Amino acid sequence: MTYVDGLVIPVRAGTDSAGYARFAEAIAPIFRDHGATRVVEGWADDVPDGKQTDFRRAIQAGDGETVVFSWIEWPDKATRDMGMAKVRADPRMVSTGVEMPIDGARMIFGGFQVVLDC
């Protein structure tokens, strides 16, 4: 059954969508090489402020920062677990040749079992 890693990512001020896309394009193949079937990156376009919480508050986005909503699809949880271990150990994750425009300490992520895909 399909397994998904979901991420809400704070992108540093001064980074535009093209700059973020260069970073994402550099790391997406690493996930694909280790079993991911799809990597999707969504640049904030219509992200309203909420009354109690919202995407920006969830990642403590500062002035000028933006939000990226991302997901990585895997064939199943076992493939994801093995693949993520390989991704973490892959030397390309350390040196992509592209500046990392995110604050990983405030990134929110988690794994999810797909219960509906229509």
Sign of CA dihedral 90, 88, 24, 29: positive
User: Average per-residue pLDDT in the chain?
Assistant: 95
Whole-structure pTM value: 0.92
Q: Are 30 and 72 in contact (CB under 8 A)?
A: no
pLDDT, tens only, 67-82: 999 999 999 999 999 9
Whether 118 is in a domain gets the answer no
Q: Residue 83: what pLDDT?
A: 98
Whether 46 is in a domain gets the answer yes
Tokens 């280790």 -> residue: 34
pLDDT, tens only, 7-24: 999 999 999 999 999 999
Sign of CA dihedral 115, 70, 65, 95: positive
Q: Residue 52: what pLDDT?
A: 93
Whether 13 is in a domain gets the answer yes
CATH number at residue 18: 3.30.70.100
* % of the chain at pLDDT higher than 70: 98
- Report residue 94's pLDDT band, with 50, 70 and 90 as the boundaries: confident
Residue 63 has pLDDT above 90, yes or no: yes
What's the domain count of the chain?
1
Whether 80 is in a domain gets the answer yes
Q: Which domain holds residue 109?
A: 3-113
